[in-house]
């Protein structure tokens, strides 16, 4: 029998985009699909312009929601991993170098390129971001509508 942790890992590893939910200073919500890489299913990295809505929102309200799911599955068969956490621009150089290694590894696996500090600094117009999830959940699939249960992707 497949455990919830294994299912959660499969969902996160099997999908290239996460939906990043942010809110502005007034609490107005915004959702954005972003290509992501992760480390140990807890830290999520992406690159984005600091001028786009989700980046501006993170600058004033770091709390985020994250969903990773496969939108191509038939109706009523989908499963997702839901997370809440805090996000920020990665400004520390050592932390950025490590995050870019993680991001580049996944980018190359998907046909993308290696990213460098120069790509996310200065006048590039792109910055590196990180969200740290403080918990994961999934639908329980127990017949109860929208019944979510906690899941630890690092456990079976």
pLDDT digits (tens, 9 = 90+) for 88-139: 999 999 999 999 999 999 999 999 999 999 999 999 999 999 999 999 999 8
CB 147 within 8 A of CB 140: yes
Beta strands in 7-141 (DSSP E): 17-23, 29-35, 37-39, 43-48, 63-69, 80-89, 127-139
30: left (phi over 0), alpha (psi -120 to 50) or beta: beta
At 60-89, the pLDDT tens digits run 999 999 999 998 988 888 889 999 999 999
Q: Residue 43 and residue 71: Cα distance in Å, rounded?
A: 22
- The pLDDT-based confidence of 1 (bands split at 50, 70, 90) is low
Mean pLDDT of the chain: 94
Give pTM, 2 decimals. Answer: 0.94
Phi, psi of 126 (to 5 degrees): -125, 145
At 20-46, the pLDDT tens digits run 999 999 999 999 999 999 999 999 999
Q: List the domains of the chain with CATH numbers.
A: 4-140 (2.30.110.10)
Q: Residue 63 and residue 135: Cα distance in Å, rounded?
A: 13
């Amino acid at each position: 029998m497949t455990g919830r942790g294994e299912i959660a890992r499969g969902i996160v590893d099997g999908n290239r985009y996460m939906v990043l939910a942010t809110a502005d200073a007034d609490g107005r919500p915004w959702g954005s699909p972003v290509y992501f890489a992760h480390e140990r299913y807890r830290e999520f990295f992406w690159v984005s312009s600091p001028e786009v809505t989700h980046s501006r929102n993170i600058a004033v309200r770091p709390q985020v929601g994250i969903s990773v799911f496969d939108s191509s599955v038939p109706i009523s068969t989908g499963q997702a991993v839901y997370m809440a956490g805090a996000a920020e621009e990665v400004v520390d150089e050592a932390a950025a170098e490590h995050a870019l290694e993680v991001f580049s590894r996944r980018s190359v696996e998907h046909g993308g390129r290696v990213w460098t500090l120069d790509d996310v600094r200065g006048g590039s117009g792109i910055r590196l971001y990180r969200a740290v999830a403080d918990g994961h959940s999934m639908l329980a699939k127990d017949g109860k509508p929208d019944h979510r249960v906690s899941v630890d992707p690092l456990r079976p």
